[in-house]
Structure formats: structure tokens, C-alpha cells
């Protein structure tokens, strides 16, 4: 069985090779870059493909991998994989469903504290021997209303932390769990009510057709004036044009983002010169550059998941997923 790992690094390779020793007859190869239609030919004979979120496993990639039987994504989200195309080809897909609930929640609150207390600006000034407090006034979290879009496993951890800061919490979800809301001390509201009543909005939903552009030009004006937006989920959940509009019109006081719409393009500016880079991609690319330059916007490089403990959980589950495929009893399957 041939396994191709993309978006790999040296430390992960050592860990994975050690873990895969228990599987007989395995031929493993590693690539540092994400897989795409241009480099998929390198893995044309692979039985199993392992990727992360910057890879794009679409029809063009699958066309170049005729022997492929199983895909493992080392992430919870799998919007970077064309599941319908995989179903047509009877290619099974598994993910890593639980690895970073507390990890992402902690980073989320790191972003909240950074923006509420203007920590990045203060640190940068102090490095330049500027100890002035001018322009550094922040605000307390106690008594503020946190709006959680998606009180799932990560969102629930965020709510627990928020309660430690004595914040009021409201949440939006398609399915309500009344028992959970009582246990954690939050209130379910409709989406518009969350936008209108939150001092801080934090996003914790997966990227689906129903969540793409969830915050957009049609509802950005409904957001409570002075609100802050936090996104450690997926960049495409916020329409970047709408976010920039909200910042420009001072509807939104600031944003702290671990993800950006079309972030895979901003990571590799050379893609601008490829045939695949269309006008819409260029628009998003330029808007992201504007976001990065905004004084009241904090951006981290999609690192909310990135702790030693979380990485080990990801790698262990990835090994488990491959082993289960080999045994014919696939776990963590998402293509059904």
C-alpha cells in the first residue's frame, strides 16, 4: 500500500514513520507542499492520500490519481476535498474530528485579549522604548456580551472560558440544546439578534454551503456598533468585502482573525501568475492585503490548532485512520 503525505514537515515525518511501522507492506512518501492539479502527478500511484487544509483535492487532482482508494485529512474540516467527486469514484474520506477543542478555544481567547487590551501594539511600542500609554486604553471583558456562532465542541470551550471572565454569552445554532445552555449558562438567540446584541462575536462553525459568507453585505449593518469580530474557524465564513466595509464605516471596532478568505493564495503570491488565479481570487487577495494593514485588525497565520499536544493528537488519529482503512473498518469517515 502506497501512502502519500502532503503538507508534511520533518518532525511529523519522524513521528508518522514510527507510528506506521505497525502496518506491514506500506510504502510512504512525503511532500512539503500542498497537493494541487500541478503536482498531483507525483502521487499518481498512491492508494492513500494524506493532506491538510491548504491542499485542494478536486476533480483535476483525482483524475491524476487513478489508484486512489482513501483520503485522510489531518483536520476536522474537509471543505478542501470534493466529497461528491470522491463518492462517484468510491474513494473513502476520513478526518480528525476531535483534536483541538481546548487548543482552538485558548487561541480564540488569546485573540480576544489581544484586541481588547491592544497587546500587539503595546508590545511593538515597548520594543522601541516607547512606554507611553497614549492610545492603549482597552476595555474589560467582565459584563460584556459574547456572541458565539456555533456552540459546538470548540464553541462550548469558549463559553466556559468566557464565563470565567464573567461575560454574558448568547449563541446561535440551527439545533438548540436547552440542557446544554442551562449547564453552561448561555442563551440561544436568532442570528440577527446575535449580531445586534454582541459586544464581541466569535465564529466556530464549519465551512458549509450554508455558512459560506454568513457575515456579508446584507447583514453587516445589523451588527452592534463598536462590536469586535473574532474568527478562528474558516475565512470564507466572513465576506471580506463586508468586513472591510464594517471597519471603514466604524460599525466594527476591530477584528482578530486566525483565518482569511482565500488564505491559500496570500500564502503563495506566485499563484497570482497561474492560469487558475481568476479575477475573484485577485479581488480577495487584494482585500486581504488591505486587512493586514488595518491598525485595528490582528491576523495570525492559521495557527489556532498549532500546539505540541494538538499536533500529536492529529498525527495519532491520522495513523489510526490509515490503520482502520487497511483493516477494512474505516473510522472517522465523512463521505457517507
Q: At what angle do helices 10-20 and 308-327 cross, to 10 degrees?
A: 40
Q: Which helix (H) or strand (E) holds 114?
A: helix 101-116
Instruction: Specify whether 234 is catalytic.
Output: yes
Cα 213 to its chain centre, rounded Å, is: 14
Which of 261, 263, 264, 287 is labelled catalytic?
263
The whole-angstrom separation of Cα 30 and Cα 327 is 23
> Which of 234, 236, 264, 287 is the catalytic position?
234
Is 302 catalytic? The answer is: yes
76 Rama class: left (phi>0) / alpha (psi -120 to 50) / beta: alpha
Question: Do residues 172 and 148 lie in contact, with contact meaning Cβ atoms separated by under 8 Å?
Answer: yes
Element (H, E) at 231: strand 227-231
Q: Which of 70, 80, 157, 302 is catalytic?
A: 302
DSSP state of 238: B
Give the catalytic positions in this structure: 234, 263, 302
Amino acid at each position: 500500500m502506497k501512502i502519500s503525505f502532503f503538507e508534511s514537515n520533518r518532525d511529523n515525518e519522524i513521528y508518522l514513520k514510527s507510528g506506521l511501522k505497525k502496518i506491514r507492506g506500506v510504502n510512504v512518501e512525503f511532500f512539503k507542499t500542498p497537493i494541487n492539479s500541478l503536482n498531483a502527478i507525483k502521487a499518481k500511484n498512491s492508494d492513500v492520500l494524506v493532506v491538510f487544509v491548504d491542499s485542494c483535492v478536486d476533480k483535476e487532482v483525482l483524475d491524476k490519481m487513478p489508484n486512489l482508494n482513501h483520503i485522510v485529512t489531518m483536520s476536522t474540516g474537509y471543505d478542501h476535498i470534493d466529497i461528491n467527486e470522491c463518492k462517484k469514484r468510491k474513494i473513502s474520506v476520513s478526518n480528525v474530528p476531535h483534536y483541538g477543542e481546548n487548543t482552538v478555544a485558548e487561541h480564540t481567547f488569546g485573540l480576544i485579549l489581544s484586541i481588547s487590551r491592544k497587546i500587539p501594539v503595546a508590545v511593538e511600542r515597548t520594543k522601541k522604548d516607547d512606554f507611553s500609554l497614549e492610545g492603549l486604553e482597552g476595555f474589560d471583558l467582565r459584563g460584556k456580551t459574547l456572541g458565539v456562532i456555533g456552540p459546538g465542541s470548540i464553541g462550548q470551550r469558549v463559553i466556559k472560558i468566557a464565563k470565567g471572565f464573567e461575560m454574558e454569552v448568547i449563541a446561535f445554532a440551527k439545533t438548540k440544546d436547552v440542557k446544554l445552555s442551562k449547564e453552561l449558562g448561555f442563551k440561544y438567540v436568532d442570528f440577527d439578534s446575535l449580531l445586534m446584541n454582541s459586544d464581541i462575536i466569535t465564529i466556530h462553525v464549519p465551512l458549509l454551503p450554508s455558512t459560506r459568507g454568513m457575515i456579508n453585505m446584507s447583514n453587516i449593518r445589523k451588527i452592534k456598533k463598536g462590536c469586535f469580530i473574532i474568527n478562528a474557524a474558516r475565512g470564507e465564513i466572513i465576506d471580506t468585502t463586508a468586513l472591510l466595509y464594517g471597519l471603514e464605516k466604524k460599525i466594527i471596532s476591530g477584528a482578530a482573525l486566525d483565518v482569511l478568505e482565500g488564505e491559500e493564495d496570500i500564502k503563495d503570491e506566485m499563484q497570482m501568475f497561474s492560469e487558475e488565479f481568476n479575477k475573484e481570487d485577485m479581488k480577495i487577495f487584494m482585500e486581504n492585503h488591505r486587512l493586514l494593514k488595518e491598525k485595528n485588525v490582528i491576523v495570525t497565520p492559521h495557527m489556532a490548532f498549532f500546539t505540541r499536544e494538538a499536533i500529536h493528537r492529529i498525527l495519532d488519529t491520522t495513523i489510526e485512520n490509515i490503520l482502520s482503512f487497511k483493516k477494512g473498518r474505516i473510522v472517522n469517515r465523512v463521505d457517507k
